[in-house]
Amino acid sequence: MRRLADRVIAIQMTMDGADFIEIYGFFMGRSGDTRQSFGNARRVVRGGLASGGAPFTKDIVNLEGLLRVHNFLRVAVQLDRLDCLRLLFCGKLDIEDVLRHAPVVSVPVS
């Protein structure tokens, strides 16, 4: 999770004009691992510009999806709708698709 969050920060740095060397330095400051720092910096600028200004933003999309799934799981547990969780494992479904296909639960009227 930390590595993904660091990549999102690095993406913002690149959007603000940081180049590959600055991004590499950021990751070195976070991990101290030359191979991992190089790989993370390369991942941020791939398909963009090594000179900065045009990052690769797939990690932001991944982070958004991870947060959506986390929130869905949290709410499903709070509402005691664990029956919905099985649908997450049947294939590539969006959270909205899970809600559409979830079994209907009758609510007792008091």
Q: What are the pLDDT digits (tens) for 5-56?
A: 898 899 889 889 999 999 999 999 999 999 999 999 998 888 777 787 777 6
Q: Is residue 107 part of a domain?
A: no
Mean of pLDDT over the chain:
83
Which residue in 51, 68, 49 sits closest to 60, CA to CA?
68
Mark whether 25 and 51 lie in a shared domain: yes
Mark whether 13 and 43 lie in a shared domain: yes
Which residue in 47, 58, 55 sits closest to 12, CA to CA?
55
- Looking at 23, 38, 56, which one is the last position of a domain? 56
Q: Is residue 109 part of a domain?
A: no
pLDDT > 70 fraction of the chain, expressed in percent and rounded: 90
Mark whether 40 and 86 lie in a shared domain: no
Mark whether 50 and 64 lie in a shared domain: no
Mark whether 31 and 67 lie in a shared domain: no
What gap in Å lies between CA 6 and CA 63, rounded to an integer? 11
User: What's the whole-model pTM score?
Assistant: 0.58
**40 class by beta-carbon count within 10 Å (0-12 exposed, 13-18 middle, 19+ buried):** buried
Q: What local confidence, expressed as pLDDT, does residue 4 receive? A: 80
Domain that holds residue 95: 60-101
